[in-house]
Amino acid sequence: MELTAIVIVIFSALLHAGWNILGKANQGSGASFFLASGCAAAWLLTPYLVWYLYQVGLANLGTGFWQLLLVSGLCQIVYLVGLGTAYKHADIGVIYPIARALPVLMVGAGTVVIGYQLSLNQWIGFSLITLGCLFVPLKSFSEFRMKAYLNIGVLWALIAAIGTTGYSIIDKEALLLLEQVDTQVITSRHSAIFYLGAQFWAIVIPLGLWLYVTKQTEEFKSAWSMSKTATAAGIMMASTYGLVLFAMTETENVSLVVALRQVSILFGIVMGIYFLKEKWHVTRSVGAGLIFSGLVISLI
C-alpha cells in the first residue's frame, strides 16, 4: 500500500471519528440525522455531478455501474441507520469499535471470494483488530463472555458492520468500471469525487422514499430542525469517504484500505471520552493496543 494512500486514509479516519461524535450527540433519530447530513452532502456535490456527466456522457455509464451504485447506496443506508440506532442504546466507545472493526474480516473474506489475495500477515493483523474490538466494549476482563455482547446496541452495530462490508466491496468494483471512461479531462480522481456525490443521492433518495411510504413524516421535520449540525456532519462525511475512495483508486485490494480505516476507532474512543465524558477502562486500553498492533502487522 502506497504511503500517500496510508496518509490519506489516516486523515479520513480522523474526520470519520469526528462526524460520529456529532451523530452520537444529535437529539433526533438516526434516520433523520443521516437524511439531513446526506442531503447536505448530496446538494453540495450536485454541480460537480452535472459537470462530470457533461464531460463523460450519461450513455457512457453502463447499466452495471448504476446497479452497483444502487446496491451500494442501500448498503450505506443499512450502515447509517444501524449505526444511528446503536448509538441510542450504548456508548460510542462500545458501538464505534464494533461497527468499524468487524468489517475488516468480513471484507477480507469477501475480497478473497471475488479473486483478491491476502498474505498471512494481513490475516493475522485483521484478526487482532477484530479481537481488539471485542475487548473495547468491556468494563472488566471478567465480562469477556458471550452474554456481554447480547444486547440491542451490539446487534445494531453488527447490522451496521454488514452494511459497511457490502458497500466497501461494491465501491471498489464500481470505481473500476468508472476507470474505463477516463479521458484526457477525466481521471480516476475526478471519477472518485463523482462516485461520492452519486452515492449520497443513492442514500438519501431511497431513505427519503422509505420514510415517506412508511408515513414517518416527523423524521423530515426532525431532519430540518438539525440542519446546521447535520450540514457540518455531511461535509465531514463527504470529505472522509471522498478520501477513502481516492485511496481505493491507489490500492489494488480494498481490504487494506478498510483495515487501515480502523485507526478511526482509536480516535473515536478518545473523542468519546473527551467530548462526551464517556468512561475509560483498562479493557479499552488492551483493545486499543490490539487494534493498533493489528494495523501495523497487516501493513507490513
* 150 vs 74, residue with greater confidence: 74
Percentage of residues of the chain with pLDDT beyond 70: 91
- What is the structure's pLDDT at 10? 81
pLDDT in tens, 221-234: 888 887 777 788 78
Q: Of 109-118, 185-194, 264-273, 279-288, which gets the smallest average pLDDT?
A: 264-273
pLDDT in tens, 68-113: 999 998 998 888 788 878 877 877 667 767 777 778 888 888 888 7
pLDDT tops 80 at residue 190: yes
pLDDT in tens, 30-67: 678 778 888 988 999 999 999 999 888 888 888 899 99
* 274-to-50, 95, 212, 230, 271 alpha-carbon distances in Å: 41, 17, 38, 21, 5
The reported pTM is: 0.76
pLDDT tops 80 at residue 16: no
- What is the structure's pLDDT at 68? 94
